[in-house]
């Protein structure tokens, strides 16, 4: 038989409070860990899309912008990405659409979505998996794979912090 000898101590009350609220504290730690993991994945993915060391085709594109109500079109050089590389950034729409959302305490969504309609940019899925005419330029799966250990570390750290383990 195991016998517990608990004596009056100011720290006992704090320990009992932590044990009573352990489910709430763990849930809070998980949410916080997911938040930091999501921020880390977004930062990494955007950085890799903006990375200038692409090795695909170099070609001229027309870039349109409006200045004081007048449309101006200028030709710019664009270095595309090769198959298997992160997509090259041209308009910034894909880059701006990379986001995450923490749902509850047990789910985090990470992907590309449009800020205005809350759906992914229409070409994000084609870049990720490819088409009959274009090889894939994945950006979500490689981000998750590259940042997996960091994300686990964020979650463990935040749960430990929430339940009082330093």
28 belongs to a structural domain: no
144 belongs to a structural domain: yes
The number of distinct structural domains making up the chain is: 1
- The single-letter DSSP state of residue 27 is H
**Is residue 95 classed exposed, middle or buried when 0-12, 13-18 and 19+ CB atoms within 10 A define those classes?**
buried
pLDDT tens-digit profile of 112-166?
876 555 666 788 889 999 999 999 999 999 999 999 999 999 999 999 998 888 6
Q: 40: domain range?
A: 35-54+82-162
1 belongs to a structural domain: no
97 belongs to a structural domain: yes
Q: What are phi and psi of 110, to 5 degrees?
A: -135, 130
Contacts of 45 (CB under 8 A, 6+ apart): 86, 98, 139, 140, 143
For the question of whether the overall pTM of this predicted structure is more than 0.85, the answer is no
128 belongs to a structural domain: yes
pLDDT tens-digit profile of 63-105?
888 888 888 888 888 899 999 999 999 888 899 899 999 998 8
4 belongs to a structural domain: no
DSSP-derived pairing of the beta strands 58-67 and 70-79: antiparallel
134 belongs to a structural domain: yes
Angle at alpha carbon of residue 114, lines to 118 and 129, rounded to 5°: 105
65 belongs to a structural domain: no
């Amino acid at each position: 038989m195991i016998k517990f000898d608990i004596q009056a101590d100011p720290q006992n009350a704090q320990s009992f409070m932590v044990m009573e609220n352990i489910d709430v504290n763990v849930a809070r730690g998980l949410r916080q860990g997911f938040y930091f993991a999501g921020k880390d994945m977004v930062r990494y993915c955007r950085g890799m899309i903006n990375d200038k060391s692409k090795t695909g085709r170099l070609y001229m594109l027309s870039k349109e912008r409006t200045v004081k109500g007048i449309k101006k079109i200028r030709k710019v050089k664009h270095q595309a990405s090769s198959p298997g590389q992160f997509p090259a950034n041209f308009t910034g729409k894909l880059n701006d659409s990379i986001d995450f959302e923490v749902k509850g305490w047990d789910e985090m969504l990470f992907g590309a979505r449009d800020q205005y309609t809350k759906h992914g940019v229409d070409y994000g899925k084609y870049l990720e998996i490819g088409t009959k005419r274009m090889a894939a330029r994945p950006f979500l799966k490689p981000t998750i794979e590259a940042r997996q250990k960091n994300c686990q570390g964020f979650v463990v750290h935040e749960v430990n912090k929430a339940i009082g383990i330093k």
